A and B are shown apart, each in its own frame.
Chain A
């Protein structure tokens, strides 16, 4: 059983502060790493799909980095706003997994307070 772990489980951020959190995954058999943002009562929103070691992706104030050799990815939120409050999920897929199979972490719940 492969473990995809996210830390911390939850964090509180003051509006305007920047924050980051981690997703760790098996470094062998790596194919892709996905990040999603999931707001309560909504569909998970796809943020990034990352496949290359050293890759960095950016979407507005959110960015992510990837280290496939050591098996981790960081997600950064710059200048947090209340609308950034959500659970952020990462998901791993491996070369030997059936096409499209994603293994999810339990998520990091971010609460941004004004």
Chain B
């Protein structure tokens, strides 16, 4: 149980375009989903927390207008990188947590390359 999928696994896009990444909890209801980013040789850094039906809470330094998060259902959250630039190239990974749970279950991540 507790499987989280993420799509796509990798994406290459041109500078200025937008990219949407989906995160799905396959066998449980995720009341909270988290989005992280990892730059090479660094730790996972939390970007934002989203609760189903509410606006996402962004960490300091993360632009909410650039990284649009939608958590419209208990099994799906999306991260849209708007007007992507080469500096947005990174590894993006989501996690999901059920009601009352401490453990976060992670997806496999998305490698984004912006040319």
Contacts and interface: CB of A to CB of B under 8 A. Distances in A.
B104 A106 contact: no
A41 B41 contact: no
A60 interface: no
B46 interface: yes
Contact of B42 (A4, A34, A102, A106): A106
B108 A42 contact: yes
B43 A100 contact: no
B41 A100 contact: no
Contacts of A26: none
B49 interface: yes
Contacts, number: 54
Given A44-B106, A46-B104, A102 B4 contact: no
A98 B36 CA distance: 15
B43 A32 contact: no
B43 A49 contact: no
B49 to A, nearest CB: 6
A66 interface: no
A71 interface: no
Given A4-B43, A105-B43, A107-B43, A32 B4 contact: no
A46 B105 contact: yes
B99 to A, nearest CB: 12
B10 to A, nearest CB: 11
A105 B105 CA distance: 17
Interface string A69-103: 00000000000000000000101000000111111
Interface of B: 2, 4, 32, 34, 36, 41-46, 49, 57, 93, 97, 102-109
Given A89-B43, A102-B44, A104-B45, 7 more contacts: A34-B103, A34-B104, A43-B4, A46-B2, A104-B36, A104-B44, A106-B43
